[in-house]
Structures are given as structure tokens and as C-alpha cells.
Amino acid sequence: MRQLALRTAVTALLLLQACTGLAVQSSRIKDLASLAGAERDPLLGYGLVVGLNGTGDGQSAAFTTNSLVAMLERLDVTVDPSVVKLKNVAAVLLTAYAEPGTTPGARIDVTVSSLGDASSLEGGMLVMSPLKGADGRAYAIAQGPVSIGGFNVAGGANNSFRKNHSTVGQIPNGAKIEIPLPGGFYSDGRMAWLLHSPDFTTSQRVADAINLVFGGSTARAVSAQRVEVNVPVSFHEAPVDFIARMGELPAVSDQVARVVINERTGTIIVGEGVVLKEAAVAHGNLKVVIKTSYDVSQPNSFNESGRTVVTPSVITDVQEKDASVIHVPETGTVSDVVAVLNEVGASPRDIIAILQALKQAGALQAELIIM
């Protein structure tokens, strides 16, 4: 009966959105937000990769030498650091991500990155190394063969051939969780959604979608990013089932009207809802080209006093295009203006300058972001 009631409520929600013309823009809640406390935690470690074929760190990497000597001493092997050769050993930084509450024994992937001057980690083996969290505790142990998915071959006369990046590799399932990571998404019958793109309207719509299905006091939007949820009593023993049902509910996202500009690449991204007030845009170019060519002037034959000289020849060309005045109606959108400017030959940089001027004039009704 409960499943039938939930299906009926979801159907009512879809019909309501269809009547308001918003159904085509709806997304699932789990695509708009993530559960607070369920984010992956980063882990960090340091280790040694051994077994390299002469592509390890050089003698200048003192930290690699110290690490190798310390490791051998823990294995009851005493060595003189001055005689240690590091061709086949590389110091590496280890990074990984683990889900909160992951049970001991679970395995996660590890990324291995060279710290010294090793030329390749191909064929290397990571020696047992701890992975620590932000609190300094070791939550996992990493060990295993490093896969770089490529190679780096060097030949004579500075000839080389490389495929992919040979100083960064992966160890699939290379770390074993030893201690469960702290955190949790469910506590005392409460949980919360965190929006990927904070927005007050979207936050309220997510709360409304949950309340329509599970009851009017289940969810509450407390900020532009956070929606707090009281788990119904019937789901206290099955919070995962409740989360799965909430995540599938449709909600309509909203966003602030933005125009994003990357001046380095000439890229223009126009968001939804960007409009322009009535304006006139003048577009014109003045192009000046100065070219210098060099001629050689030689004296006549048998002229002992003459000498050969180089004479420059300067050519200046000025080209001016007629300015084009474009009328932008109040109902026009930025995409329409960009299309018109493209037709009259405006370059991406010209369009960027025009959009900046429209923003200063108050005609561009959007937030202008310059990267």
C-alpha cells in the first residue's frame, strides 16, 4: 500500500509540472544535489616504488635515499647511505578517495605520482605504504604493481618516444581500508541534501518535491544550498530505501542568468535567461599593416670605392571597414546578438568587448563573468 501511495504521489507531481510547462526541464534530485556526509574523503600517503629498469630517481633526490635507508633499517638491514644507488627506486606521492563508513577490508584505487626526477614508473612495484586522512590517522594500506598505461623510450642522439604520462600511474584496488572513515549521512532521523549549484529557488523546489510525496513537513530549505529532511517514521529502519526514493523524484532547477567569457581562448558561454534591453551596437575596424622588405644595392663593376649595402623598403597599408550599426530590440537575447555580430564579421574578441560595453550600459541583464 505504501509503494502504491508513493507512485500515486510521484504521478501527481509529474502532472503538476506538466501543467505548468516545467516537466521538460526537470531533473532528478540526486542529479541536482548530494547527501551531506556522504562525500568521498581524500587520503594521502608517501611511498617508494621499486623494481624500475634504471628509470628511478637520481642521486640528487636525497629524500629518496633517506626513505630507502629507513625502510631497510625497519627490515633489520643496515646500509651506508653513501653507497646507495637509486636508479631502480622512485619516491612517490599516493592519493586516493574513500567513502565515509567504508568497512575494513574494502579496496580502493590508488594514484601514484613521482616526486623526484624519475623518468618513468613503468614496471614498478609500490612497497607497503599507509594512506592518511586529514586528521593524520592511517585509514588504509597501499601496495601493488603500478600501471602507467604507456611507456617512455629514450634512444641515442636525444631521440625518444613517449605514450601517455609515464611518471603518474594507477594501482587498481591497490589499497585496503583498515579503519572505517568518520562521517555519515543519517543521524537521529535527519539528513540533508547539498545542491551542486546553490540557488534559493532550486532549494525550495527540491523541498516542495519531497514534501509533495512524503508529507508537508518532511523537507525544509534552510539555505540556497542545504535542504534538511526529517526521515518519516516508517523509514527509520530503512533509510537507504528512503534516500533511493527521494533521489528519483523530479525537481526543476533554476539558475542566475550568467554570461561567462574566457578572453584567453575567445570562448563565450551564454546561460539560460540572459536577455538584453533595447540598445544599438556599432561595429567597425581600423587595420594598419606595415611591411618592411630589404633590397641589396651593389656598386658597378670595377668600382673600387663602392660597397654593397642593404636598403630597407617600407610599405604601409591602411584598411578601414565601414561601421555597422545594429539595433538590438528589447526582446532580443544574447544568442541573437552574437549571431548578428557573427554575420557582420565580428571576431570573438570583438563580441567580448561588445558584451562588456552592453553590461556597462545596463543593457545586458545578466551577471558577466570574465575568466
- For 236-292, the pLDDT digits (tens) are 888 889 999 999 999 988 888 888 888 777 777 877 777 777 777 666 654 445 455
Does 309 map to a domain?
Answer: no
Are residue 165 and residue 66 in the same domain, yes or no? Answer: yes
Are residue 87 and residue 108 in the same domain, yes or no? Answer: yes
Are residue 151 and residue 164 in the same domain, yes or no? Answer: yes
Q: Read off the pLDDT band of 65 (50, 70, 90).
A: confident
Q: How many domains does the chain have?
A: 3
Cβ neighbours, 10 Å, residue 229: 24
Are residue 47 and residue 168 in the same domain, yes or no? Answer: yes
Q: Read off the pLDDT band of 319 (50, 70, 90).
A: low
DSSP state of 269: E
76, pLDDT greater than 70? yes
DSSP state of 278: S
Are residue 67 and residue 167 in the same domain, yes or no? Answer: yes
Does 304 map to a domain?
Answer: no
DSSP per-residue codes, 219-236: EEE-SSSEEEEEPPGGGT
| Of 340 and 68, the one with more pLDDT | 68
- Give backbone dihedrals phi and psi of 6, rounded to 5 degrees, phi first: -65, -40
DSSP per-residue codes, 163-198: ES-TTEEEEEEEEEE-SPPS--S-BTTEEEEEESS-
Distance, CA of 167 to CA of 116 (rounded, Å): 10
Are residue 138 and residue 241 in the same domain, yes or no? Answer: no
Does 294 map to a domain?
Answer: no
Are residue 81 and residue 113 in the same domain, yes or no? Answer: yes
Q: Sort strands 258-262 and 367-370 into parallel, antiparallel or unpaired.
A: parallel
Q: Sort strands 286-297 and 219-221 into parallel, antiparallel or unpaired.
A: unpaired
Mean pLDDT of the chain: 78
| Of 81 and 343, the one with more pLDDT | 81
> For residue range 104-118, what is the model confidence (pLDDT) as tens digits?
999 999 999 999 888
Asked whether the beta carbons of 93 and 37 are under 8 A apart, the reply is no
Does 58 map to a domain?
Answer: yes
Q: What is the pLDDT of residue 45?
A: 96
> For residue range 12-48, what is the model confidence (pLDDT) as tens digits?
444 444 444 444 468 899 999 999 888 888 999 999 9
DSSP state of 105: T
> For residue range 281-299, what is the model confidence (pLDDT) as tens digits?
666 654 445 455 656 666 6
Task: Name all contacts of 319-325 with Cβ < 8 Å and 24+ positions apart.
Answer: 319/286, 319/287, 319/288, 319/289, 320/284, 320/285, 320/286, 320/287, 321/284, 321/285, 321/286, 321/287, 321/345, 322/284, 323/282, 323/283, 323/284, 324/282, 324/283, 324/284, 325/280, 325/281, 325/282, 325/283
Grid cell, residue 200, equals 534559493
Does 293 map to a domain?
Answer: no
Are residue 105 and residue 221 in the same domain, yes or no? Answer: no
Residue 346 sits in which domain range? 259-288+317-370
Q: What is the pLDDT of residue 311?
A: 66
Q: What is the pLDDT of residue 176?
A: 95
- Which residue in this structure is represented by grid cell 532550486? 202
pTM of the model: 0.64
Are residue 101 and residue 119 in the same domain, yes or no? Answer: yes
